[in-house]
Chain A
Amino acid sequence: MKVRLLDIAHARSGDKGDTANVGVIALKPEWYPVLAKHLTLDRVVSHFRDVIEGGVERYELPNLRALNFLLHGALDGGGTLSLKTDAQGKVYSTAMLRLVLDVPDAEARAAGLPAWNGK
């Protein structure tokens, strides 16, 4: 089953130099294990491959039902050097939430995940 991150998580992003951080938080506590299992480093690297220039780091915060991603080379040099509208990475949060996960049907039904039927 396809599950869009926007439907199961919320997020906030910020900057540190040329790195954007995106914290992704499960909308319901019982959905955190789905995030932890399926929102892998590889999925995020692939999602942002045409957007950022550097690598990605991934951290788990089960206490907050959250994952934290560091997207390196994401801000056109960052800070005052950047020419981007989003020089401080404020809306990488919702760019992340466009990501669509493939969750096995049984697992998705057991967790009560909403299905994504878009393109």
Chain B
Amino acid sequence: MTAPRIVRVAGGQGFWGDSLDAPRQQVENGPVDYLMLDYLAEVTMSILQKQKERDPAMGYARDFVGAMESVLDAVVTRGVKVIANAGGVNPEACAAAVLAMAASRGAAGKLKIGVITGDNLLPRIDELIAAGHELRNMDTGEPLSLVRDRVIAANAYIGSTPIVEALARGANVVIVGRSTDTALTMAPLRHEFGWGATDWNQLAAGIIAGHIIECGAQCSGGNCLYDWRSIERLEDVGYPIVEAQADGTFVVTKHAGTGGRVSVPTVSEQLVYEMGDPHSYITPDVVADFTSIQLTADGTDRVRVHGIVGRPATDKLKVSIAYRAGYKAVGSLVYAWPDALEKAHAAERILRARLDRLGLKFEHILSEFVGANATHGPLAGPDAGKDAPEVQFRIGVRDADRKKVERFTREIAPLVLNGPPSVTGFAGGRPKVEEIVAYWPALVDKTVVTTHVEVVS
């Protein structure tokens, strides 16, 4: 009997800003077939949209060009393929930058980049609203027309199909804009094993494999509460690898010799991360049932995942919309023992009284006392922060009027000289006013979104 065929997908980036070394380590420390890089969080598209407005050649995750440079040899000489949602709002420009980098490294003509577009709905919003697509906020139920004039980005989360098409057309790098994070892992498995569009259990297994590795090392020992002290060498943490088989079963592991840990508890923690209704994890390709997942320890740093059940997908796609939602600023001061918490409370009272006298009323104001209540609030108990060596007073405001928020930022520093004693920690200077770009999740009919695949080299 021959051993079942294994396809290895390595997770090398959990968000834009994750370890710069992880992609290279994933392709150099052991065998992998695909490198999956997830760059996009919910508000990343709006940041990229702003960058593209300033410079039409921008609007993608620029870290990706460096990541591609660091793995170029593995792609060119060993046939490792890369799949990334680094395209942001400008996948074509991202591909051009990668091709230019490859040419400068003597690898001209060695990359075939699949570029996937069609997720960007920003130019079509008015057309969609006019056609009766209200794009209601999934959390609040409000129609998008309420904030239409402040919308700066709108992207449909697309599924695995266009990525599979790009791979079938010979791409060794696939750049997507706003795909689901999980499709980046499921698509290569679907391509390799020839899973059909109605092989629900296998598709669901691919999605769950994606969910496990989409946050990088968060499934391989990072941010793991279970027995955390015993998880060794996180400075050399191994990012996760999925070893999948045609029937949809897979093993989560990491390269030998790396730090961290892959165990039933580390994988379980990642499975419940950002979970909603576990019976229905909805994606464009399939609805996965997290209550079907079976985990079995399978040797050192190996967890076998099996038994996964999926159901037909819905007829909707989720749309990630970003809109301008006013301004905010957060300032802080640190008060030292003795009576640190009491001094911080006094500072808060004084500051709020001064804001009142200035006639400054904000849409929202929030005080926290770091060292006493910032993370667990009243659950920390009545004695929390008492006799603490120091307490940080942290106060934030939010308002549509930028001027009011600016004025607030001038009121923190004076407390150093004219407020309660034993104060420090203001070296960072005046708080910065930040424009808020908020997230508006909505649904749209699948029939509205047409994706396009182009392979460039």
| Chain A residues near B (Cβ < 8 Å) | 10-19, 21, 23, 25, 27, 47-48, 50-51, 57, 59-66, 68, 70, 76-81, 83-86, 91, 93-95, 98
- Number of interface residues, chain B, beta carbon within 8 A: 50
In the complex, A85→B292 CA distance in Å? 35
B194 interface hit (Cβ, 8 Å): no
| B277 adjacent to A85 (CB under 8 Å) | no
| B225 adjacent to A85 (CB under 8 Å) | no
| A25 adjacent to B272 (CB under 8 Å) | yes
Taking CB atoms, residues of chain B closer than 8 Å to A10 are 225-226, 265, 269
B278 interface hit (Cβ, 8 Å): yes
Contacts A10-B226, A12-B225, A23-B272: A81 and B398 contacting too (C-beta < 8 A)? Answer: yes
| B377 adjacent to A23 (CB under 8 Å) | no
| B273 adjacent to A95 (CB under 8 Å) | no
In the complex, A91→B291 CA distance in Å? 24
B181 interface hit (Cβ, 8 Å): no
B152-171 residues at the A interface, CB under 8 angstroms: none
Contacts A83-B364, A83-B397, A98-B379: A59 and B439 contacting too (C-beta < 8 A)? Answer: no
Residue of A nearest to B441 (CB): A17
B330 interface hit (Cβ, 8 Å): yes
Given A11-B225, A66-B268, A81-B325, 8 extra CB contacts under 8 A: A21-B276, A23-B271, A48-B379, A57-B277, A59-B278, A81-B328, A83-B330, A86-B375
| Chain B residues near A (Cβ < 8 Å) | 42-43, 138-139, 223, 225-226, 265, 268-279, 290-295, 307, 325, 328, 330, 364-366, 368, 370, 374-379, 394, 396-398, 436-439, 441
Q: Chain A's nearest CB lies how many Å from the CB of B172?
A: 33
In the complex, A98→B364 CA distance in Å? 29
Set B139, B223, B291, B397: member contacting A61, Cβ < 8 A: B291
19 contacts between A and B (CB under 8 A): A11-B225, A11-B272, A12-B272, A14-B275, A17-B439, A18-B139, A21-B274, A23-B271, A27-B226, A50-B379, A51-B376, A59-B277, A61-B272, A64-B290, A79-B42, A80-B436, A83-B330, A83-B398, A95-B376
In the complex, A66→B226 CA distance in Å? 13
| B328 adjacent to A66 (CB under 8 Å) | no
Q: Chain B's nearest CB lies how many Å from the CB of A29?
A: 10
Q: Chain A's nearest CB lies how many Å from the CB of B358?
A: 19
| A50 adjacent to B274 (CB under 8 Å) | no
| A83 adjacent to B366 (CB under 8 Å) | yes
In the complex, A51→B375 CA distance in Å? 10
Residue of A nearest to B376 (CB): A95
| B278 adjacent to A12 (CB under 8 Å) | no
Closest 6 CB pairs of A and B: A23-B272, A83-B396, A14-B274, A83-B366, A12-B269, A10-B226
In the complex, A17→B442 CA distance in Å? 12
| A70 adjacent to B376 (CB under 8 Å) | no
